[in-house]
Structure 1
Amino acid sequence: MLLKLRAGEKLYINGAVIKVERKATIELLNDATFLLEAHVLQPEDANTPLRQLYFVLQTQLMEREASSRTLRLFGEMSAATREALGGGLVADGLIGADALVEAGRIFEAMKTLRGLFALEAELMKDKTSANAA
């Protein structure tokens, strides 16, 4: 797998942080767990239920020693979020993310969650509007 990085960009690979000074291409010759800087959510940005779930999975990828605890936390939080939602597209997406996590496909689960952020924002906006009325 080829990863193209811009100057100053960070790459998180198997828990290590790599920063390149110049534009670089890195070829991974075996399986590795990695995140590009653009996919990393900062703690202060984990301010909605789905973003918090994403942050938990991100932690799973970046800190392998927390593995069983973070996966258990993800399962508990996901179930609580689905229950609070009571169904709909976001809840359906969470079921898909849960299945990916169960299959060990953490990055793909994170991608699924990122795809739900806009729907979550709409739900939260609708809820805020309803509460204001």
Structure 2
Amino acid sequence: MLHINLRDGEKVVINGAVLRSVGRAEIVVENTAAILRGRDVMTPEEANSPARRLYLACMLAYLDPANLSQYQDQILALFGDFMDAVEAPEAKAHCISFATHVAQCDFYRALNDCRALIAYESQVLERLAPADAA
């Protein structure tokens, strides 16, 4: 049993359906379901980097298991390119964990690894960005 507390206006996706609370709400989920809080949902427009595209494909595999093979193909293509670009041992460890979870079709846990990869990618891109001229 899973208890989810929502603030007024907060969104949650349950098995692909987007729900928005009106007022504070508590939802009790009594069986297995694909659940993501609104803050964990990524739109295609937000998937503007390799790690974010990987997250989006993984999120869609989690929320839309009817089209799983399509998303798995996307994940494999994106993952290979991302893994080749990663250098830091900690990021490689997240990649390995991500791949393990995807192989087990545990996309919810794979999303957690993807969040770490997004953070890693952001740090790398910040370091590579040219400093603004003063």
User: TM tier, shorter chain?
Assistant: 0.7 to 0.9
> Aligned runs of 1:1-133 on 2, under 5 Å?
1-85=2-86, 88-129=89-130
Instruction: Give, as a single letter, the amino acid of the residue that structure 2 aligns with 1:32.
Output: A
TM-score computed with the length of structure 2 as normaliser = 0.87
Tell me the percent identity: 26
Please give the secondary structure, in 1, of the residue aligned with 2:108.
Answer: helix
What is the CA RMSD across the aligned residues, in angstroms? 1.8
The farther-off stretch of 66-75 and 88-97 is 88-97
Aligned length: 130
Instruction: Give, as a single letter, the amino acid of the residue that structure 2 aligns with 1:68.
Output: S
Alpha-carbon distance in structure 2 between the residues aligned to 1:116 and 1:82: 10
**1:74-106 Cα shifts (integer Å, max 9, x gaps):** 012101111133563323311210101111211
Equivalent pair of 1:15/1:64 in contact (CA under 8 Å)? no
Instruction: Give, as a single letter, the amino acid of the residue that structure 1 aligns with 2:53.
Output: Q
List runs of 5+ in structure 1 lacking aligned partners. none
List runs of 5+ in structure 2 lacking aligned partners. none
Instruction: Give, as a single letter, the amino acid of the residue that structure 1 aligns with 2:51.
Output: L
Please give the secondary structure, in 2, of the residue aligned with 1:47.
Answer: coil
TM-score computed with the length of structure 1 as normaliser = 0.87
Alpha-carbon distance in structure 1 between the residues aligned to 2:48 and 2:90: 20
**1:44-102 Cα shifts (integer Å, max 9, x gaps):** 22111111100111111222222111012101210111113356332331121010111
Give runs of ≥4 in structure 1 deviating > 3 Å.
Answer: none
Deviation at 1:15, TM superposition (A): 1.2
